[in-house]
A and B are shown apart, each in its own frame.
Chain A
Amino acid sequence: MNNLVLGFENIVYANGVTIALMGMLIVFAALLIISLFIVLLPRVLPLLEKIVPEKHHQHAPTSSTPADHEQVLAAIGYALFRKNAESLPAK
């Protein structure tokens, strides 16, 4: 560190403004191209689908099925019922 010598000349000597502008421009360009790619992707997918049709088999369990949800809901309901029943005043 240059012993905290303040001054605009530090920015000029280090090409600070150029680096900052170029950096900002590149970040924008990269994200803009990614954004354009995302816009185009759904339009390209039908073409891809014709060449490589999507297979609908699952390799690994990824998400729960509706049947799983029902079982989980039933378990939660039962647990809540038990909890409430225990907290009820005894008759």
Chain B
Amino acid sequence: MDIFLSFITTTAFFTMTWANLLMIVIGIVFITLAIRKDYEPLLLVPIGFGMIVGNIPPVEGMALSVYDQGSVLSMIYYGVSQGLFPPLIFLGIGAMTDFSTMLSNPKLVLLGAAAQIGIFLTFIGALYLGFSPSEAGAIGIIGGADGPTAIFLSAKLAPHLLGSIAIAAYSYMALVPVIQPPIMKLLTTRKERLIRMKAPRVVSQREKIIFPIAGFLIATLIAPGAIVLVGMLFFGNLLKESCVTERLANTARNAMIDIVTILLGFSVGASTQAQTFLTPQSLLIFGLGALSFAVATAGGVLFAKFMNLFLTDKINPLVGAAGVSAVPDSARVVQVVGQKEDPHNFLLMHAMAPNVAGVLGSAIAAGILWSVLVL
């Protein structure tokens, strides 16, 4: 009987707190959003379930949680905490990215740069709120709308905030279809939303092969801190475009990225134990994250309008919103918002250009922040 009673006291019913319960509910909400609303299901289902797993209070003396040395979860989480998973995801993204639209309309690359203003304004905002420069840099990168980049940089600059930053980044990425349209509509007139853009030119295979090598050299000679992320992105793209490594490209964009996404999503979710996650800082990070997404979207749209002052072939300013690097969700949002005004206007192809440029821009921004703030 004593053994039974002592076992009962080790059950999670005795150690569970309201905060753990709240996190479990949030995990269930994530899963529900993924299933019912189709919001980033490949990410929200692993993260949501990870949140449920991570908030079952561990038994004292047993290595169970992400933070217990030697536990299975801690070994999986090693890929997150040491920044191993994000570059592997970038390899997969590179192997599935087609840079053709960007190569056919290079001026749209600048929209990918403009949207990175969200990162740097949020950095200033986080400093104002009292975060240290390293923490502010890690929080600012949420504005890049790029989960792997956010995880990579926070693992390097502010590992103690990694859980909150990762959850904020992925939550807002999932909410791109909700956050972006009102801002896009607010900053554009109907006439602007109706602009039709010229069809992109055909890009030769040779251009596609040369670009990843040249793009990598340019980006990393300017910002060497971006070597890992940009390197893997362009390496993956070269595997795809070289036409001689189709098997490797296939593995990178299918099996490998899926495996890494499962491990990353699940372990990030499991790292959100209420005791470390439910803090005032997390709330601030969520607030700053929402702000940075809004600023990034506005930055892209407004810069497109600015460019239109000088261009004869006008850009539909909605395309600027795709400068945030949530690939391909923000490009899809541009297409949806554009088609609401004109069902025969196909902006998706054009929006993919700033979208992939945004991936590049946020990786470069991460490299810059890492180089400057780690010193």
Binding site for B on A (CB under 8 A): 1-8, 10-11, 14, 16-17, 19-24, 26-39, 41-42, 45, 48, 54, 58-62
Contact = CB atoms under 8 A, between A and B. Distances in A.
Given A16-B123, A17-B124, A28-B113, A42 B131 contact: no
B130 A4 contact: yes
Given A14-B136, A38-B106, A30 B219 contact: yes
Q: Which of B127, B219, B222 has the largest number of chain A CB atoms within 10 A?
A: B127
A30 B218 contact: yes
B243 A31 contact: no
B223 A30 contact: yes
Q: Which of A27, A34, A48, A59 has the largest number of chain B CB atoms within 10 A?
A: A27
Contacts of A61: 246
Nearest to A56: B205
Contact of A41 (B103, B244, B369, B372): B103
Contact of A60 (B123, B215, B243, B361): B243
Given A1-B281, A19-B369, A29-B222, 14 more contacts: A3-B130, A14-B127, A14-B132, A16-B123, A20-B124, A23-B368, A27-B365, A27-B368, A31-B112, A32-B109, A34-B106, A37-B214, A61-B246, A62-B243
B131 A27 contact: no
A28 B365 CA distance: 10
11 contacts: A3-B130, A8-B128, A16-B123, A27-B113, A30-B223, A31-B361, A34-B106, A34-B218, A36-B106, A38-B211, A59-B244
Contacts of B123: 16, 19-20, 23
Contacts of B93: none
B68 interface: no
A8 B128 CA distance: 6
Given A10-B130, A27-B365, A20 B121 contact: yes
Interface in B253-300: 280-281, 284
Contacts of B120: 19-21, 23-24
B135 interface: yes
Nearest to A4: B130
Contacts of B136: 14, 16
A63 B231 CA distance: 26
B130 A38 contact: no
Contact of A48 (B103, B131, B206): B206
Contact of B246 (A17, A24, A36, A60): A60
A55 B280 CA distance: 61
B218 A37 contact: yes
Contacts of A58: 243
Nearest to A54: B206
A15 B38 CA distance: 42
B106 A35 contact: yes
The 7 closest A-B pairs by CB, nearest first: A20-B120, A38-B106, A31-B113, A59-B244, A35-B109, A35-B106, A14-B133
A41 to B, nearest CB: 6
B244 A60 contact: yes
A45 B119 contact: no
A48 B204 CA distance: 13
B207 interface: yes
Contacts of A22: 368, 372
Interface string B120-162: 1101100111111101100000000000000000000000000
Contact of B204 (A3, A21, A45): A45
Given A1-B131, A35-B109, A38-B109, A27 B116 contact: yes
Q: Which of A2, A36, A48 has the largest number of chain B CB atoms within 10 A?
A: A2
B324 interface: no
B128 A11 contact: yes
A4 B158 CA distance: 16
Nearest to B214: A37
Interface string B91-105: 000000000001100
